[in-house]
């Protein structure tokens, strides 16, 4: 009899208020004949707090989860999904997001849909979508300082005056941004930080990069969508000794005057999308995109007429 596939549960923290969600995941996997793994740090927290279903699971290290898992089940918000994705970036292990956060745009499985989601997962009723990542190099370094799945952002780190950001695309001068910062986002990240400062929504399957200034002082400057095979170089200047570089919200201080190079990474992440997933439904329901009382709670035309 062939050995069952291993599915590993990941979360950055364990909230006892979410114990029913975790329990539902474990029970659904076990009843479907799957092996259940729980990321080691999470397993220890569960065991310490008396989570009963931990008895049906295996304690899995990061390395073993990459080597052995058929999929990672990320339980939390979009930040947790990004953390899980960065753990397995460059591997063939796909990630499914189960939402316990506020928005859940990447973690799109609702807690009340866990049983059906696990059934579809075990039955293979899903597709995997390649999620692009970008990396950033500083001052001619050969190794990237960091990877980003949503966005890379450069910004001032205090209340000093704006930054001056001389920006080049494939060596061709684009413009000088006089702004509080600049965001380079992936299509996945177009609905995150970039959107909050006026950037466009881009379909996740688009092969593009979005350049969005933060509080630009050039009134004619607008966000720009570029193909994802370009290399973006930025020369940073400001009055403070340091600037802040951010990779999906994780910040690093860098010395002022740096030369940055941002490009699409040659590795990415595989995201699981169940058969019921719809990007445009997520826009309507989670971002309230196009919400209008005349649309009868944002329903589709055929639903409004029924």
Distance CA 140, CA 127 (A): 38
What Å distances lie between residue 184 and 23, 35, 138, 150, 229, CA to CA?
39, 39, 15, 9, 13
Paired with 39 in beta bridges are 60
Closest of 42, 247, 67 to residue 147, by C-alpha? 247
Distance CA 244, CA 246 (A): 6
Q: What is the DSSP string of 29-61?
A: HHHTT-EEEEEHHHHHHHHHTT-GGGGGSEEE-
Catalytic status, residue 228 = no
And the tokens for 260?
Answer: 């940055």
Beta strands in 180-239 (DSSP E): 181-185, 208-214, 224-227, 231-237
Catalytic residue among 15, 64, 78, 158: 78
Distance CA 95, CA 269 (A): 8
Burial (CB count within 10 angstroms: exposed 0-12, middle 13-18, buried 19+), residue 303? exposed
Q: Is-contact 31 116, C-beta < 8 A?
A: no
Distance CA 176, CA 236 (A): 10
Residues in the chain: 306
As annotated, the active-site residues are 78
């Amino acid at each position: 009899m062939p050995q069952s596939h291993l599915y590993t549960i990941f979360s950055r923290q364990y909230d006892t208020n979410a114990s029913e969600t975790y329990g539902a995941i474990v029970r659904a996997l076990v009843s479907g004949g799957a092996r259940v793994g729980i990321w080691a740090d999470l397993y220890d927290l569960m065991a310490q707090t008396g989570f009963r279903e931990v008895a049906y699971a295996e304690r899995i290290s990061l390395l073993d989860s990459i080597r052995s898992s058929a999929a990672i089940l990320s339980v939390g918000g979009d930040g947790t999904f990004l953390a899980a994705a960065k753990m397995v970036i460059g591997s063939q292990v796909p990630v499914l997001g189960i939402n316990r956060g506020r928005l859940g745009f990447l973690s799109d499985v609702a807690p009340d849909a866990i049983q059906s989601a696990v059934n579809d997962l075990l039955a293979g009723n899903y597709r995997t979508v390649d999620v692009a990542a970008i990396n950033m190099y500083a001052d001619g370094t050969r190794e990237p300082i960091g990877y980003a799945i949503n966005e890379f952002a450069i910004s001032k780190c205090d209340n000093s005056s704006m930054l001056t950001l001389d920006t080049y695309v494939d060596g061709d001068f684009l413009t000088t941004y006089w702004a509080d910062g600049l965001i380079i986002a992936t299509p996945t990240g177009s609905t995150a930080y970039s959107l909050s400062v006026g950037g466009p929504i881009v379909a996740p399957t688009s092969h593009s990069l979005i350049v969005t200034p933060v509080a630009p002082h050039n009134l004619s400057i607008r966000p720009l969508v570029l193909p994802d095979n370009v290399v973006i170089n930025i020369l940073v200047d400001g009055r403070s000794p340091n600037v802040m570089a951010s990779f999906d919200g994780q910040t690093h201080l860098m010395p002022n005057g740096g030369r940055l190079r941002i490009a699409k990474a040659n590795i990415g992440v595989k995201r699981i999308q169940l058969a019921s997933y719809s990007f445009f439904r997520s826009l309507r329901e989670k971002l309230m995109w196009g919400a209008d009382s005349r649309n009868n709670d944002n329903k589709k035309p055929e639903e409004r007429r029924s």
